Amino acid sequence: MKDEQIYERINGVFRDIFDDDSITVNANTTADDIEDWDSLEHINLIVAIEEEFGMKFNMNEVTTMKNVGEMVEIIKVRATK
């Protein structure tokens, strides 16, 4: 899968979860950049991404991922859909 395709699908998940069609993420996007991305929404986002790509993040990744770029690197390796 190409990076652009992954980002396109991730954007869809973000827009859906945060209910905001203007969101466009890139590798450097962090929780600070999106107002509603707090610790309560974090897991919802993670689970939605997991469902979208048919893969799992481990707990260490869930708690230490620093930005969307790191998320995409993991998706590239593990995505099944």
Partner 1 sequence: MNLTSLTFLLFCIITLFFYFIVPKKIQWYVLLIASTIFIFYGNLTKFTFLEVLLVLLASYFGARKIDSEKGKKRTYYLLGSIGVILGILFLLKYTNLLLVTFNHLFNLFKVKYKFKLITRNSPIGISYYSLIMIGYLIDVYRGGCKAEKNIFKVALFMYYFPIIPSGPFTRYNDMKKELYEPHKFNYDALCSGLVRCLWGLFKIFVISQRISIFVNTVYGDLVTYNGFFTVIAALLFTLQLYTNFSGSIDIIMGVSEIMGINLPENFNAPFLSRTITELWRNWHITLGAWLKDYIFYPLLKSNFMQSLNKKYRKKIGRKKAKKIPLYLSMLIMWILIGVWHGGTYNFIIATGLLQFIYIFLEDVLAPVMDKINRKLKINPYRKTYRLFQMIRTYVLFSFSLIFFRAPSIKKAIDIIKSIFVWNPWVLTDNSTLFKAGLNIHNFRVLIIAIIVLFIIEKRIKKGNVRKQLFRQNIVVRWALIYMLILSIIVFGCYGVGFDPASFIYRQF
Alpha-carbon radius of gyration of the chain? 11
Min separation Cβ 3 and partner 1, Å: 26
- Asked if residue 64 binds partner 1 (CB under 8 A), the reply is yes
Min separation Cβ 2 and partner 1, Å: 28
Site pattern 10..49 for partner 1 (x: CB under 8 A): -----------------------------xx-xxx-xx--
Report how far apart, in Å, the C-alpha atoms of 73 and of each of 1, 22, 35, 54, 60 are.
12, 24, 24, 15, 15
